Structure 1
Amino acid sequence: MEPRKWKAPRYTSELLNIPGMAFDVHIPDPKARIQAYIDSYDAPDMKGHKGFDEDFMRKHIKLENAWSDGQSAKAVFFLKVVPEYSNRMGNMHGGAMAMIYDMCTTMCAAPLARDDFWVFGGVSRTLSVTYLRPVRSSMDILIECEVLQQGRRLTTIRGQMKDKSDGSLLSVAEHNKASIEFVNPKV
């Protein structure tokens, strides 16, 4: 019996038409570009979609500010920790924290996107989170993110969560992402 040769199907460019898949590279202001991405989760044709990140993007994350010099980008987000992201001890669940870092660090890279360069936020290669202090339910936190390096295929983004009331550092993360090349659909 001959060994089976398995190859994953290629992603087609049609996927980029789904709201929340691509950054709008025609919005020049970094903050407005990230906000447009957040707002895309409320697109009318996506209201029934129940993805893992939908509730977070639609109801909970708030963009405070964003900056870019064309080589690097920074963004700050606000989140009130809700019970849905907490464990039975009343602390934010580590998996929820990782999802929040995944989304926020990805959005931080949006200001660097341009036609044919990181239009889609890429896919995670590694996401490392170090938990320093408990994040209590109903706590107000800031998520500060910075693109450290972005090349044609790989990017590295750092994130940190802080207690908004006193600035204490709650956790840190490093997110390495890979870009995806989308192929044109076969007709």
Structure 2
Amino acid sequence: MAEQKRMEEFLKFSVEETYNEQKNITNGLLQVRGKSCSFEESSMTFEFPVLPWEENRVGFMHGGVMCTAFDFSMGVLSRFYAGSNWAPTVSIEVKYIRPVDMGDVFVVKCIATATGKRIIQLRGEAYSGKTGKLVATAAAVYMSIDTTTEKRG
């Protein structure tokens, strides 16, 4: 129960940090909402309202923005498991299944599948908030870097 509470607090902190410290960069522009988390499942779920600036040239949510939402979501979960370490993205792969309408909500559930000392592997599923249908999946790898012994970047 203590670990679940710690995860809930980290989810809340991460979303608040995005609004307070990253409001004018990509993460803040996404207007993310933390929906839920489960320490038992090693998962976090986020909601991203599909905004006008995210529209592609044919009127749907841009695939690059979908990838960014996955990276944000899985990045938060990887940082939870990395603790005080820095956890940059090593790789991310997105599979697009169906388009997401403007005005919808892009719902991302990410699950940590391996949380080693150095490498954190995750998978993600994204759903339409309106229809509940699966719209994309992702897989990513993050590296936990101890910044007290290694230089960042």
User: Same fold judged by TM-score > 0.5?
Assistant: yes
Moved more, 27-36 or 95-104: 27-36
Indicate whether 1:137 and 2:68 are aligned. no
Partner SS for 1:109: helix
Q: Deviations over 1:119-165 (max 9, x none)?
A: 24511111000001011111123211111111011011111111123
Indicate whether 1:108 and 2:77 are aligned. yes
1:118 positional shift? 3.4
Q: Distance in 2 between matches of 1:96 and 1:106?
A: 15
Question: 1:82 matched to which residue of 2?
Answer: 51
Distance 1:129 1:121, change over 3 A: farther
Residues 156 and 177, structure 1, Cα contact 8 Å, conserved in 2? yes
Q: Distance in 2 between matches of 1:175 and 1:181?
A: 20
Q: In percent, how many aligned pairs have the same letter?
A: 18
Question: 2:28 matched to which residue of 1?
Answer: 54
Distance 1:120 1:51, change over 3 A: farther
TM-score, normalised via structure 2 length:
0.84
Question: 2:14 matched to which residue of 1?
Answer: 37
Q: Structure 2 matches for 1:159-174, cutoff 5 A?
A: 159-174=124-139
TM-score, normalised via structure 1 length:
0.70
More helix by share: 2
Residues 107 and 121, structure 1, Cα contact 8 Å, conserved in 2? no
Residues 73 and 111, structure 1, Cα contact 8 Å, conserved in 2? no
Q: CA RMSD in A?
A: 2.4
Indicate whether 1:93 and 2:70 are aligned. no
Number of equivalences: 148
Q: Given residue 157 of structure 1, which amino acid in structure 2 is its aligned partner?
A: L
Distance 1:85 1:121, change over 3 A: farther
Q: Deviations over 1:39-75 (max 9, x none)?
A: 12344xx47x74332322xxx2111110103xx5111
Q: Distance in 1 between matches of 2:47 and 2:32?
A: 6
Q: Which has the larger radius of gyration?
A: 1
